[in-house]
Amino acid sequence: MFDLKLYIEQKRLQINAALEKIFQRLPANETLIEAMQYSLTAGGKRIRPVLCLGAAEAVGGKPEDALPAACALEMIHTYSLIHDDLPAMDNDSLRRGKPTCHIAFNEATAILAGDALLTLAFEVLSAAAAEHDEFALKWLKVIQIISMAAGCRGMIQGQMLDMAAEGGKLSVAELESMHALKTGALIEASLHCGALIADAGPRETHMLKNFARDIGLAFQVTDDILNVEGNPKLMGKATGTDSRHEKSTYPALLGLDASKKLARQLVRNALQVLENFDKKAEPLRALATYIIERKR
């Protein structure tokens, strides 16, 4: 049987080593760099980079080839968390059991560390083809996919919608489109880029993007469920916060049971999409299941 725990552990080590290598080339003992590293190494699950590598593997590519994209995706995810946590936005002081960036440093440093992680992501992507001219166009496309997913028609617009929704009540359809932008777009880009780097065909790519949309939403539904009945110790943050802030969530709109059913259904859909893939897609299949079974 496929050992997902071992797989994720190995991929995490690989991703963390690649991130560390990037930071070794940056000046040490500078507050800005320290703040960037602080948030980047604060215990993230590395879901997006693992999905990116898994997608490359699923279509027969070498996951290592996708490492620059994996690192860039994690940097962009981390920057978005730093900025979302700011007092002007969600005003969170704890993330993954540690003080958020603006608490550990200060607000100005947190804003700039986020900016710098976003910028560094594109630097890493632009350097990926430096020694292989023939891959330049491929990496340019990766930059386009990621910038579109992370920008004003993707992740950032999702955060705008999330903030606009505060206090009001969203419909299930509105909640879904908000999440499709806020978290779904970057998850979809993760698999898309992995597939692209591994030279996937248009049909495979299309299926992996469908897979991504299903697990992206399942991921968010599960997040909402964990906020209701998760263990704050395992999660490294308080639970029950969504209902206290009267946030529109799946459990609030559908109830807890129907939310769990929805998450399971989404993962079933995702697994069905992968039926045409061989055993090289085993990591992606296991990741899909992990996404709704995780405890944090």
Residues that bind a second copy (CB under 8 A): 26-27, 30-33, 36, 79, 83, 86, 88-89, 106-109, 111-112, 114-116, 118-120, 122-123, 125-127, 129-130, 133, 136-137, 139-141, 143-144, 147-148, 150-153, 156-157, 159-160, 163-164
Decide whether 6 or 24 has the Cβ nearer to a second copy: 24
Decide whether 107 or 293 has the Cβ nearer to a second copy: 107
DSSP letter for 94, please.
Answer: E
Spatial distance between the Cα atoms of 287 and 281, rounded to a whole number of angstroms = 10
Decide whether 24 or 278 has the Cβ nearer to a second copy: 24
The residue type found at 29 is: N
Min. distance of Cβ 118 from a second copy in angstroms?
A: 6
Decide whether 78 or 222 has the Cβ nearer to a second copy: 78
Burial, 1: exposed, middle or buried (Cβ in 10 Å; 0-12, 13-18, 19+)? exposed
Min. distance of Cβ 51 from a second copy in angstroms?
A: 20
Give the residue among 195, 194, 242, 191 at the shortest CA–CA distance from 221: 242
Min. distance of Cβ 100 from a second copy in angstroms?
A: 14
Min. distance of Cβ 95 from a second copy in angstroms?
A: 17
Decide whether 45 or 141 has the Cβ nearer to a second copy: 141
**69 token code pair:** 């994209």
Torsions phi, psi for 99 (to 5 deg): -55, 140
Decide whether 13 or 88 has the Cβ nearer to a second copy: 88
Min. distance of Cβ 273 from a second copy in angstroms?
A: 28
Min. distance of Cβ 139 from a second copy in angstroms?
A: 6
CA distances from 183 to 26, 112, 180 (A): 29, 22, 6
Give the residue among 72, 42, 73, 59 at the shortest CA–CA distance from 196: 59
- 201 neighbors 274 (Cβ within 8 angstroms): no
Torsions phi, psi for 87 (to 5 deg): -50, -40
CA dihedral sign of residues 278, 185, 162, 101: positive
